[in-house]
Amino acid sequence: MAAMRNWLQGEPKEKGRQRVAVVHCKAGKGRSGTVACSYLISQEGWRLEDALKRFTVRRMRAGFGEGVSIPSQLRWVRYVNTWTNQLQKKYIERPVEVVEVHVWGLRSGVKVCVEGFIDEGRRIKNFHTFVREEKIPVDDGSSILPVDEPPAKKHTETLVSPTGSTPSSSKNDLSTPAKEASQNVILRPSKPLRLETSDINIDFERRNKSTYTGFAMVTAIAHVWFNVHFEGGASGNESGVFEIDWEAMDGIKGSARKGIKCLDKLKVVWKYSDAGRSQSIDEPKIGEPIKEGKPANWRGNGDPENDIENKDAGGVNSGRAGGAALTLGQMTSEAVNKLTGKDLGLRESDVASANVSRPTSQQSDPDNDYGVKSDVTEEHGQSSETIVHESHDHDRQDTTTGKYLEIGIAKVSTILAKMKGSENDHQVSKEPS
């Protein structure tokens, strides 16, 4: 915010011209809106409601909802409002410890993870995945408990194993069973669960067994980000409780779609950790140099895209400048890899394939049917306000077509795996004929 302020309020090199701040993300909507509204609130003195409303009017088509709509992003805009108007723009970053996670109405087959930021916010790390030994059932008689308790699992397996498998049918029915097993539980980590910053993400994912070999059926995905400094820490509390209902949590890729309900309510008991150091962060003064963070390595280490680009596939060329040649096997592999993202439907059943929740954009949308205006200057003209850049690529909500496309890709992968055969099929017998 201070960097934008110093630039926009600085004198332009040429008289009669205005400075402009370009804010962009994948769709120019959620993340861009969070930054634009935060600037208006913290640097221009706007009321929170007015900033959110103005961004919606300038960016969204009528009838397509709010500009900033993701619950966690709205929560952070409220944090900025509190930071500006109640905390005199003072913030203290402290390491935090998650003491317990209380879950009401937890269904079977749900994996619960605790995540946070590392590397100065450039990466999201999975700090802990709860296992069965860390679950303490608290049944008050209102939950419908399973008749047969599943056999004990190893400590490396997920929190609750599915009580049943997905019915064997071509429609891949994802409907909730008539008599759903649920529990009220306390999740207590066996070792101190410390995060390096005050930002916490609680991630939920529910899987059931799939009729396709090597895949699981993901029926629910939800998560919630919050910051303990603004949830009680700024008031001088050394501990506190963050509470949220299922309906208020974030869904897939920023949408409201979370799949089948896998819990009713969540409470996170936290306290500040004595380990690590605290850091007081004040807003830089006008004209003061702003330290800028290093760009994140968004490809990650050992990214498969880099590997593909750096080798000759010996297949059909894509025809694009700089494009890599792709074989049928590589194209199928890439399609199947897309199933390992945060999405409903079929997923590779490897437990380690989806430990970290990274809400990202999905597919480009040239038809702009998500409701973002293609040009904010058409109706209102250019002004001295922050101008938000639109990249014409938008998040799209999942469709029935997409679900069955995933199922089709899974079938193709299964067929190819059978055609390839096992290692034993290709071994030459050393015994004399």
Do 277 and 222 sit in the same domain of this protein? yes
Residue 24 lies inside a defined structural domain of this protein: yes
**pLDDT per residue as tens digits for the range 99-131:** 999 999 999 889 999 999 988 888 899 999 999
**pLDDT value of residue 418:** 63
SS3 state of residue 255: coil
Check which CATH number belongs to the domain holding 98 and give it: 2.60.40.1110
Q: How far is CA 95 from CA 201, 275, 279, 314, 346, in A?
A: 14, 7, 10, 50, 37
For 21, the token pair is: 């701040």
> Domain end: 282, 300, 328, which one?
282
Asked whether residue 432 is assigned to any structural domain, the reply reads no
The answer to whether residues 239 and 378 belong to one domain is no
Domain boundary pick from 261, 282, 303: 282
Classify residue 159: in a domain, yes or no.
yes
Name the domain boundary from 259, 282, 305.
Answer: 282
d(CA 220, CA 138): 23
Identity of the amino acid at 160: V
Of 72-86, 211-225, 398-412, the range with the highest mean pLDDT is 72-86
Taking only the tens place, the pLDDT of each residue in 80-91 is: 999 999 999 999
Residue 77 lies in a domain: yes
Tell me if 144 sits within 8 A of 184, measured CB to CB: no
Residue 343 has pLDDT above 50, yes or no: yes
* Mean pLDDT (whole number) for 23-31: 89
Give the pLDDT of residue 366. Answer: 44
The SS3 of residue 60 is strand
Q: Is residue 175 part of a domain?
A: yes
Chain mean position to CA 127: 15
User: In which region does residue 37 sit, left (phi positive, over 0), alpha (psi from -120 to 50) or beta (all else)?
Assistant: alpha
pTM for the complete prediction? 0.68
Asked if residue 70 and residue 155 are part of one domain, the reply reads no
Highest mean pLDDT of the ranges 21-30, 367-376, 419-428: 21-30
Lowest mean pLDDT, pick from 40-54, 88-102, 304-318: 304-318
pLDDT at site 410: 63
Name the pairing type of β-strands 193-195 and 22-23: unpaired
Range of 75-79, 143-147, 251-255, 332-336 with top mean pLDDT: 75-79
The verdict on residue 272 lying in a domain is yes
Rounded Cα–Cα distance for residues 403 and 156 (Å): 30
pLDDT of residue 295: 77
Residue 353 has pLDDT above 50, yes or no: no
Instruction: Write out the residue range of the structural domain in which residue 151 sits.
Output: 93-282
Residues 138 and 179 in one domain: yes
Same domain, 112 and 41: no
**pLDDT digit string, tens, across residues 377-423:** 544 444 434 433 333 333 333 445 555 655 666 666 666 666 655 54
Backbone region of residue 231 per phi and psi (left: phi > 0; alpha: psi in -120 to 50; beta: other values) = alpha
Q: What residue type is assigned to position 206 of the chain?
A: R
Q: Tell me how far apart the alpha carbons of residues 189 and 101 are, in angstroms, rounded to a whole number.
A: 9
Statement to judge: residues 165 and 270 lie in one domain: yes
Looking at residue 204, what is its pLDDT?
93
**Same domain, yes or no: 125 and 232:** yes
Look at residue 216 in the predicted model and tell me its pLDDT: 77
Stretch among 40-44, 99-103, 133-137, 390-394 having the lowest mean pLDDT: 390-394
Q: Residue 303: inside a domain, yes or no?
A: no
Residues 78 and 205 in one domain: no
Segment 151-178, tens digit of pLDDT: 444 444 445 444 443 333 333 334 444 4
Contacts of 428 (CB under 8 A, 6+ apart): none
Q: Are residues 119 and 193 in the same domain?
A: yes
Residues 270 and 122 in one domain: yes
| 158 in the same domain as 82 | no
Count of structural domains, the chain: 2
pLDDT tens digits for range 234-274: 999 999 999 999 999 999 876 778 988 999 999 999 999 98
- CATH code assigned at 1: 3.90.190
Q: Do residues 149 and 132 touch, judged by C-beta distance below 8 A?
A: no
For residue 333, is pLDDT > 60? no
Any domain includes 433: no
Same domain as 271, residue 187: yes
Average pLDDT, whole number, for the chain? Answer: 73
- For the stretch 189-198, pLDDT in tens is 999 999 999 9
C-alpha dihedral, 351 to 354 to 355 to 361, nearest 10°: -170
- Give residue 404's pLDDT: 60
